[in-house]
Amino acid sequence: MMPASSSPARGSHTLAEILSQPEVWRSCLHGLPQAAAFQAMQTKARSRRPWLFIGCGTSFYLAEAAAGSWSQLTGHPARALPASEVLLFPQSAQLAEPGLQSVIISRSGRTSEALRAAELLRDKYKVATLGITCALQSELAKTCESTIVLPAADEKSMVMTRSFTSMLFALVQLAAEAAAVPNLSSSLETVETALASTIEKWNDRVETFVASHTFADYIYLGQGPLFSVAREAALKVTEMSHSYAQAYHTLEFRHGPKSIVAPHTCIMFLLSESGMQAETEVLLEMKDLGGTIISVSDRAGDSVRQASDLLFELRTGVSEPFLLAPFVVPGQLLGYHTGVKKALNPDEPKNLSRVVLLD
């Protein structure tokens, strides 16, 4: 049977690409262990060296999430920077740090700032460079010492959806391989299978939710690596629906920003396992203040279930780094359906181009 994501009736490239994520992850994850660049980096990743993840826009949020999960899984130092910071403030970026390994992320492999950052790292600072992209025969591959390529994750849409999650999953898999995480393959397959079995239902539920709600503000909250996922989810609703969105660390939201909470405020909580109790307290407080609550969790407690206006659960039982990619999916769907409701075309958001190229 033809998968729903490839059905011509879907129409939108963006929606088809969002719904195709589980099958694309499966394709990428099965092919990665045989890729020469991936195999070579496993050896490097086992040494205790600092890692620097670099990207622009969505790829920067991907870099942040990858750095956070890298430290969680390997115990080794990792950080993330926008490519622009590397170019404009190289001294504060600490590029001369001994043994530094950089990872430059670009869906197209053509983003000007990413390429210039890779060249600067390679030529001036003699930093090892690993590229990760979805494009075959890219400029990034020519610039970096080695490159991981995920062509199955590439997209026709301007907005990054499956490319974000697939490249993030690949970097989490690399970290987990380096850390010799037990039952790695089964954890990855569990996440992919769980999302595959529920993503169509998630899509229907978001479409129904959006049809019956109108919001003035969108807030996305997460802690640890999930903060970067919250930032990416906020960007999706901004790109696809031209809505104003903000992301905060969950517990920081009560330090001032909560003043905007009202029934027309949509607040999406990305709930971590390690911070569940404290994050749930914030969720219940925002519900009491009148906010409309969307919760994303692997396993939600009774209080979260009762307080949520819309709840997404995976119920996998896997460790947190493997949940970063699927946790962004509700945010992608919310952005898409909000854009459609506003009679916009999420495939072609205004003022945007698929690749940012500088003169």
Return the pLDDT at 73.
94
| pLDDT tens, residue by residue, 118-144 | 999 999 999 999 999 999 989 999 999
**pLDDT higher than 90, residue 356:** no
CATH class, range 4-181: alpha beta
Question: Does 164 have pLDDT greater than 70?
Answer: yes
pLDDT mean over 251-260: 96
Distances (CA, A) of 113 to 16, 79, 158, 211: 29, 18, 18, 39
**Domain 186-341, CATH homologous superfamily name and number:** Glucose-6-phosphate isomerase like protein; domain 1 (3.40.50.10490)
Classified as helix, coil or strand, 147 is strand
Distance CA 282, CA 299 (A): 17
| 3-state secondary structure labels for all residues of 317-340 | CCCHHHHHHHHCHHHHHHHHHHHH
Global confidence as pTM: 0.94
**308-162-75 Cα angle (round to 5):** 80
Task: Judge whether 4-181 and 186-341 match in fold.
Answer: yes
Could you give the CA distance from residue 335 to residue 329 in angstroms, rounded to a whole number? 10
48-72 pLDDT tens trace: 889 999 999 999 999 999 999 999 9
Please count the helices (runs of H) and the strands (runs of E) in the chain.
14, 10
Mean pLDDT of 233-260: 96
Q: Where are the domains of the chain?
A: 4-181, 186-341
Pairing of strands 292-297, 265-270: parallel
- For Cα atoms 147, 322, 65, give the angle at the middle one, nearest 5 degrees: 60
**pLDDT tier at 9, thresholds 50, 70, 90:** very low
Residue 317: left (phi > 0), alpha (psi -120 to 50), or beta?
left
Q: Residue 114, SS3?
A: helix
